[in-house]
């Protein structure tokens, strides 16, 4: 099933994004862990259009790749079907960019919705309201405007004495008195398909930037007696264009708060949304508390009843129910139910920490499976290991997994006890219920139920201190 409304969306994403001062395409800058353009794609998709055409140019291959890997993959088949790309080989302005989609838009009737790829806070709901107003007014051309106290680089909406929109003047082309105008152009338009290209053909580049401005279609349409309608939206923040990295941070703050709010309303306690950084798409179960200065990134899922943070960074990981992770870092790993991690622990990629495990202060775990009820305390390192259930790993115990060339596996079977400061030189196996004496350097297997002890025997020299004093007198 393709889109339901007689509308085709065009998203302009070919610009260089000069003001970002970056090698990266502007529309690929992430906001809460996800490229900016994907939010615009979401909003457009929610409107259920017939098709979405993304105009690409600068670093266009990277944009195609990112959108195909990210957005398209996360959507159902319908999204894949309606999405296409048009190249704008040279970036000669926003009108020129829409022209680049001409072939893709040929023979269309209905309306064309034009969006800029750098306006990521726009939502499907706003677009739907806008669409309905456009149809209700039977407008030829509609645009979303808003009021800003700092109109800065936005195009200004010029109205006649009757309040009719007559044109948009770009910031660099402002005439006398026009710098006082606070109503700005958001860059979101709906145009009847049959009039769009007729208007675009008349756009000239006689302006400060020598570009073909899309905004000029407003003046042309109005001069031709077409009906131009402005949809004034009160919340200027959601219409923010991201031109530089400061605007990027402002947009991200706003988005971050809305993610925290959504979670809060679903039963998660987010103690301080302003200092909590949760990526788009992270899920958190109810009755979980997120303490301040916590980052939940990428494909992370947190269960119910957990306490996460303060000062915790979890990336691409899943945490079960009723677990506590505080002052710690977890990367690309799975953590079960009723687990405690931290403070100051680092769970590195490919670890699988099962239910009721305790991982204590300053422990590092990498590519390691830890069975239920095991304890890994104080200053340990477990790398490339398979640890059974009810294992106790003492303070300072280390798996010596790397010989300078290869990594090797350590296996510790159920119920084993590894004493403090043991070095387990991999590959090696510690048997079921076996003991490793503190301070041992274990180089070969400790059989099930055995004690492995590999250290110098202690000798005491009786009266040594007194003799020494005697000598030095
Ligand atoms: C534009 C509007 C301005 C409006 C503001 C809202 C124009 C001329 N001006 O200004 O009225 O207030 O957005 O945020 O439209 N692009 C292309 N090809 C090009 C040039 C740009 O695809 O040749 C794309 C960019 O990638 C970007 C979008 O169009 O996503 C807008 O371009 P940008 O240069 O950011 O326009 P603004 O100066 O912000
Ligand atoms: Ca912009």
Which residue's C-alpha comes closest to atom 3 of ligand 1? 155
Kindly report the number of other CB atoms within 10 A of residue 234's CB atom.
Answer: 7
Kindly report the number of other CB atoms within 10 A of residue 381's CB atom.
Answer: 22
Please give the C-alpha separations between residue 237 and each of 150, 244, 265, in angstroms, as whole numbers.
12, 15, 22
Q: Which of 409, 454, 447 is nearest to 431 (CA)?
A: 447
- Over residues 98-108, the mean pLDDT reads 93
Average pLDDT, the chain: 96
- 3-state secondary structure labels for all residues of 384-395: CEEECCCCEECC
Q: How many residues does the chain have?
A: 473
Going by pLDDT thresholds of 50, 70 and 90, the confidence category of residue 406 is: very high
With a 6 Å cutoff on the Cβ, whether 91 touches ligand 1 is: yes
- Closest ligand 1 atom to residue 13 Cα is 26
pLDDT of residue 238: 97
Cα–ligand 1 centroid distance for 116 (angstroms): 7
pLDDT of residue 1: 45
Give the global pTM: 0.94
With a 6 Å cutoff on the Cβ, whether 94 touches ligand 1 is: yes
With a 6 Å cutoff on the Cβ, whether 241 touches ligand 1 is: yes
Ordered DSSP codes for 362-430: T-EEES-EE-TT-EE-SS-EEESEEE-TT-EE-TT-EEE-B-SS-B--EEE-TT-EE-TT-EEESSEEE
Q: Which domains does the chain have, with CATH numbers?
A: 7-239 (3.90.550.10), 245-452 (2.160.10.10)
pLDDT of residue 234 exceeding 50: yes
Residue 287, SS3? coil
Q: What angle do CA 292, 298, 300 make, to 5 degrees?
A: 70
Nearest bound ligand to CA 155?
1
CA distance 170 to 203: 14
Cα–ligand 2 centroid distance for 79 (angstroms): 25
Cα–ligand 1 centroid distance for 186 (angstroms): 10
Going by pLDDT thresholds of 50, 70 and 90, the confidence category of residue 377 is: confident
CA distance 409 to 412: 10
Residue 240 token pair: 């923010």
With a 6 Å cutoff on the Cβ, whether 93 touches ligand 1 is: yes
For the chain, helix, strand, coil in percent to 5 are 25, 30, 45
pLDDT of residue 128 exceeding 70: yes
Q: Assess contact for 433 and 418: CB atoms under 8 A.
A: no
Residues facing residue 324 across a β-bridge: 307, 340
Nearest bound ligand to CA 144?
1
- Over residues 20-25, the mean pLDDT reads 96
Q: For 175-204, what is each residue's pLDDT tens digit?
A: 998 989 999 999 999 999 999 999 999 999
Position with higher pLDDT, 109 vs 91: 91
Instruction: Please return the burial class of 35, using the count of CB atoms within 10 Å of its CB with bins 0-12, 13-18 and 19+.
Output: buried
Cα–ligand 1 centroid distance for 260 (angstroms): 30
pLDDT of residue 147 exceeding 70: yes
pLDDT of residue 163: 95
Q: For 365-376, what is each residue's pLDDT tens digit?
A: 999 999 999 999
- Closest ligand 1 atom to residue 241 Cα is 14
Which residue's C-alpha comes closest to atom 36 of ligand 1? 94
pLDDT of residue 107 exceeding 90: no
With a 6 Å cutoff on the Cβ, whether 374 touches ligand 1 is: no
With a 6 Å cutoff on the Cβ, whether 145 touches ligand 1 is: no
pLDDT of residue 312 exceeding 70: yes
Residues facing residue 87 across a β-bridge: 56
Helix spans in 207-339 (H) = 216-223, 245-265
Active site residue ranges: 378
Instruction: Please return the burial class of 456, using the count of CB atoms within 10 Å of its CB with bins 0-12, 13-18 and 19+.
Output: exposed
Cα–ligand 2 centroid distance for 116 (angstroms): 7
pLDDT of residue 109: 86
Which residue's C-alpha comes closest to atom 16 of ligand 1? 15
Going by pLDDT thresholds of 50, 70 and 90, the confidence category of residue 17 is: very high
Q: Assess contact for 156 and 176: CB atoms under 8 A.
A: no
pLDDT of residue 2: 61
Q: 155 Cβ partners below 8 Å, 6+ apart? A: 168, 169, 170, 171, 184, 185, 187, 215
With a 6 Å cutoff on the Cβ, whether 183 touches ligand 1 is: no
Q: Phi and psi (nearest 5°) for 116?
A: -100, 140
Going by pLDDT thresholds of 50, 70 and 90, the confidence category of residue 48 is: very high
Cα–ligand 2 centroid distance for 125 (angstroms): 21
Q: For 315-372, what is each residue's pLDDT tens digit?
A: 999 999 999 999 999 999 999 999 999 999 999 999 999 999 999 999 999 999 999 9
CA distance 435 to 453: 8
- Over residues 27-51, the mean pLDDT reads 97
With a 6 Å cutoff on the Cβ, whether 213 touches ligand 1 is: yes
With a 6 Å cutoff on the Cβ, whether 440 touches ligand 1 is: no
Kindly report the number of other CB atoms within 10 A of residue 328's CB atom.
Answer: 23
pLDDT of residue 77: 87
Q: Please report the beta strands in 199-336, taking only residues with DSSP state E, as ranges in sequence order.
A: 228-232, 269-270, 276-278, 283-284, 289-290, 294-297, 301-302, 307-308, 312-315, 318-319, 324-325, 329-331, 334-335
Nearest bound ligand to CA 209?
1
CA distance 166 to 221: 9
Residue 360 token pair: 């204590």
pLDDT of residue 242 exceeding 50: yes
CA distance 240 to 230: 17
Which residue's C-alpha comes closest to atom 21 of ligand 1? 15
pLDDT of residue 4: 85
Q: Assess contact for 304 and 286: CB atoms under 8 A.
A: yes
């Amino acid at each position: 099933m393709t889109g339901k409304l007689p509308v085709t969306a065009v998203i302009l994403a070919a610009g260089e994004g000069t003001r970002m001062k970056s090698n990266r395409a502007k529309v690929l800058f992430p906001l809460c862990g996800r490229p900016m353009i994907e939010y615009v794609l979401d909003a457009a998709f929610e409107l259920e259009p017939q098709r979405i055409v993304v105009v690409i140019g600068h670093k266009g291959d990277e944009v195609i790749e990112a959108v195909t890997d990210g957005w398209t993959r996360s959507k159902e088949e319908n999204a894949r079907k309606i999405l296409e790309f048009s190249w704008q080989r040279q970036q000669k302005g926003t009108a020129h960019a829409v022209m680049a989609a001409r072939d893709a838009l040929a023979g269309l009737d209905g309306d064309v919705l034009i969006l800029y790829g750098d306006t990521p806070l726009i939502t499907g709901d706003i677009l739907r309201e806008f669409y309905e107003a456009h149809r209700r007014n039977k407008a030829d051309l509609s645009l979303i405007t808003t009021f800003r106290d700092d109109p800065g680089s936005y195009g200004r909406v010029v109205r006649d004495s009757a309040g009719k929109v007559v044109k948009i003047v770009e910031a660099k082309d402002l005439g006398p008195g026009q710098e006082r105008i606070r109503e700005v152009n958001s860059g979101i338009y709906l145009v009847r398909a049959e009039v769009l290209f007729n208007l675009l053909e008349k756009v000239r580049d006689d302006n400060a930037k020598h570009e073909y401005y899309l905004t000029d279609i407003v003046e042309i349409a109005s001069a031709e007696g077409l009906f131009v309608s402005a949809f004034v939206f009160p919340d200027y923040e959601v219409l923010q264009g991201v031109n530089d990295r400061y605007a990027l941070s402002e947009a991200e703050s706003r988005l971050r708060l809305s993610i925290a709010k959504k979670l809060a309303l679903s039963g998660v306690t987010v103690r301080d949304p302003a200092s909590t950084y949760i990526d788009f798409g992270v899920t958190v179960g109810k009755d979980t508390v997120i303490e301040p200065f916590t980052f939940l990134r990428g494909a992370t899922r947190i269960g119910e009843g957990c306490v996460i943070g303060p000062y915790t960074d979890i990336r691409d990981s899943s945490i079960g129910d009723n677990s506590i992770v505080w002052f710690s870092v977890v990367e690309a790993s799975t953590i079960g139910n009723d687990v405690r991690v931290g403070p100051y622990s680092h769970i590195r990629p490919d670890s699988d920490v099962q239910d009721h495990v305790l991982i204590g202060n300053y422990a590092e775990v990498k590519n390691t499976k830890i069975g239920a009820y095991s304890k890994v305390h104080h200053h340990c390192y477990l790398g490339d290991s398979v640890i059974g259930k009810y294992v106790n790993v003492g303070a300072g115990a280390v798996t010596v997994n790397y010989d300078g060339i290869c990594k090797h596996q350590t296996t510790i079977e159920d119920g084993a006890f590894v004493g403090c400061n043991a070095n387990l030189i991999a590959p090696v196996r510690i048997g079921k219920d076996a003991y490793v004496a503190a301070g041992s350097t274990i180089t070969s297997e400790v059989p099930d139920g055995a004690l492995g002890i590999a250290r110098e025997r202690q000798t005491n020299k009786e009266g040594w201190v007194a003799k020494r004093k005697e000598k030095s007198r």
